[in-house]
Amino acid sequence: MKLEEATRKQNSWVVIPKPNSRATLRLFCFPYAGGAAHIYRSWSDTLPPFVEVCSVQLPGRGTRIREEPLSDLWQVVEEAAQGLQPYFDRPFAFFGHSMGALICYELTRQLESENKTGPKHLFVSAHRAPHLPRIEPSFYDLPDDELIDELRRLKGTPSEVLENPELMHLMLPLMRADFSVCQIYEYQAAAKPLACPITVFGGLEDTVTNEQLQEWRQHTTATFKLKLFPGDHFFIHTSQESLLRELAQALLPLASPTS
């Protein structure tokens, strides 16, 4: 067995729900704050057969539950770049929702700045353009009760979890680390925009506005597209069918092995 194949088999960074040796494109999917690789487990059922869905598993969740979650975006990017490298042996694209959008954007920047192979397409979802300042106050360091109130307001955590003290005792350190990744982040001006196309997805009822999403346009010299779906910040679940249909159409031009 080749070293690269052995590395992939024991790699903790990637979960592949349905391995597809005939795929000509890998789609790496990065989770939102508090999310794990399983949120993308059904995507392979809908996306075209030339796509192999690779769910990114960050430390502190899922199969990596015993690992310390990372609270600094630059450390996440650095470690993800190393962890995903064995899977960059065929064309790939990135998809990230909310926190995941920020991670895969900065990872793309790093790959391009180092003249390494980057994604053929960058899909960012439910996150304002990175250069826009954060308006809302940070809450990653709030007392437990207040942080739980914020989680309830964001509507991304089931009420049965929020009301379970034992589960919340396990979840809060992870949520603090993930929110820290997003809320401590400070944009550093790029020497040049990305070379790959950017497609942005947003929710019509999300607090991330159309104007904030449109600002992603300046971060690429290639094509740009914005598509909005019914729903709030978690339209990724409530409008999943429509989202995957749009994603599949955007991936079609990448079907060829030489694309």
Catalytic amino acids? 98
Alpha-carbon span 80 to 108, nearest angstrom: 11
Q: What is the CA radius of gyration of the chain?
A: 18
CB atoms under 10 Å from CB of 99, counted, come to 25
Whose tokens are 């249909």? That residue is 245
Residues in the chain: 259
Q: In Å, what is the CA distance from 167 to each residue of 97, 145, 170?
A: 24, 14, 5
Is residue 25 a contact partner of residue 254, using CB atoms and an 8 Å limit? Answer: yes
Torsional sign, CA 161, 33, 67, 7? positive
User: What are the strands, taking DSSP E only, across 51-184?
Assistant: 51-56, 92-97, 122-125
Question: Rounded to whole angstroms, how far apart are CA atoms 138 and 204?
Answer: 24
CA angle (212 as vertex; 210, 215 as ends), nearest 5: 110
Distance (Å, whole) CA 156 – CA 78: 27
Q: Are strands 14-15 and 25-30 parallel, antiparallel or unpaired?
A: unpaired
